[in-house]
Amino acid sequence: MLRRPLLRQEGEEKAPARLVDQLADENLAVDVLVNNAGLMEVGDFAKIGLDEHERLVQLNVAVLTSLTRRLLPAMIERGHGRILNLASTSSFQPVPSMALYAASKAFVLSLSEALSEELWGTGVTVTALCPGITKTDMYDRAQGEHPVARKLPGLLLSEVQDVAREGYEACVAGRAVVVPGLPNRLLASAVQLYPRWLVRGVGGLVGRRSTK
């Protein structure tokens, strides 16, 4: 498992290489890679510090890409492997006031889906797990920053165990995309059916109201 202290060191962008070197030194083969670590930020893109944006892109996009690229060839060579990438229901539409986070999760979903097709027939599968709002530390922090997060109906809140179980089962089965929970599946499907201007506009209204 990728541990935070490794990524907190100077030269954070080199952490995936160091981790993979350590695994090689200890003769450890990775059969299952779970790219779970992620950062979220809430607020106006122009007001959030550039260093925060860069940390988010580094962790949510660059580290996930680097670990996947470094560990995938050996999985293909062995003819088996599973990669589980943490995307989000925010992967399916732009989210004003969480613009960069949603963009990073759209990247994760797109990359995962493309790879799952590229890897067809190799014995290696890639699964994008797209949870809705889940009761973790990330959600606790969002409640402090985002009034909307405090008013969400219970129906839209997922339990960690349920998300983990659905993600695990989809990963083992080699499914490309899983959205845990019926309400989240309905929402994710709906935003793909409605015109983009409408989805964007509704998101903008909610975002503007919630960050005031």
Ligand X SMILES: NC(=O)c1ccc[n+]([C@@H]2O[C@H](COP(=O)([O-])OP(=O)(O)OC[C@H]3O[C@@H](n4cnc5c(N)ncnc54)[C@H](OP(=O)(O)O)[C@@H]3O)[C@@H](O)[C@H]2O)c1
98 is an interface residue for ligand X by CB under 6 A? no
Nearest-angstrom CA–CA distance, 207 and 212:
9
C-alpha torsion sign, points 5, 10, 14, 20: negative
From the list 76-84, 133-141, 187-195, 204-212, the region that binds ligand X by CB under 6 A is 133-141
C-alpha torsion sign, points 187, 166, 153, 150: negative
168 is an interface residue for ligand X by CB under 6 A? no
Least spacing, CB of residue 39 vs ligand X, in Å: 6
Q: Identify which of residues 27 and 161 has a Cβ nearer to ligand X in the complex.
A: 161
Provide the annotated active-site residues: 101
Least spacing, CB of residue 122 vs ligand X, in Å: 25
Q: Identify which of residues 81 and 167 has a Cβ nearer to ligand X in the complex.
A: 167
- Please name the helix (run of DSSP H) or strand (run of DSSP E) that holds residue 118, with its range, or none: helix 99-118
Closest CA to 38 of 119, 181, 134, 180: 134
Closest CA to 85 of 55, 48, 119: 119
184 is an interface residue for ligand X by CB under 6 A? no
The binder of ligand X chosen from 34, 56, 59, 178 (CB under 6 A)? 59
Strand-pairing partners, residue 81, are 124
Residue ranges that bind ligand X, judged by CB under 6 A: 2, 4, 7, 36-40, 59, 86, 88, 131, 133-134, 136-139
